[in-house]
């Protein structure tokens, strides 16, 4: 995967992984239906559905 360039300009969320107490940006998947995040330390993954209603929130805490 050479996603580095394609990730620029894509929407992202800021997640705080409570498991390891670290922040990480997560980007939309290619279909634009989910945000896919992975804890950089324990590699636990998380998926957020993107709601059609939308939300102004751009920062979340996850476990």
Contact residues for Zn ion, defined by CB under 5 A: 17, 19-20, 39, 41-42
Nearer to Zn ion, 36 or 42 (CB): 42
Nearest distance from C-beta of residue 46 to Zn ion, angstroms:
10
Which distant-in-sequence residues (6+ apart) come within 8 Å of 38 by Cβ?
Answer: 24, 26, 44, 45, 46
Nearest distance from C-beta of residue 25 to Zn ion, angstroms:
15
Nearer to Zn ion, 20 or 36 (CB): 20
């Amino acid at each position: 995967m050479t996603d580095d360039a394609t990730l620029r300009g894509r929407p992202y969320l800021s997640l705080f992984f409570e498991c390891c107490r670290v922040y990480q940006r997560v980007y939309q998947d290619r279909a634009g239906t989910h945000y896919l995040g992975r804890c950089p330390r324990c590699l636990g993954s998380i998926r957020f559905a993107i709601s059609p209603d939308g939300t102004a929130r751009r920062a979340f805490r996850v476990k």
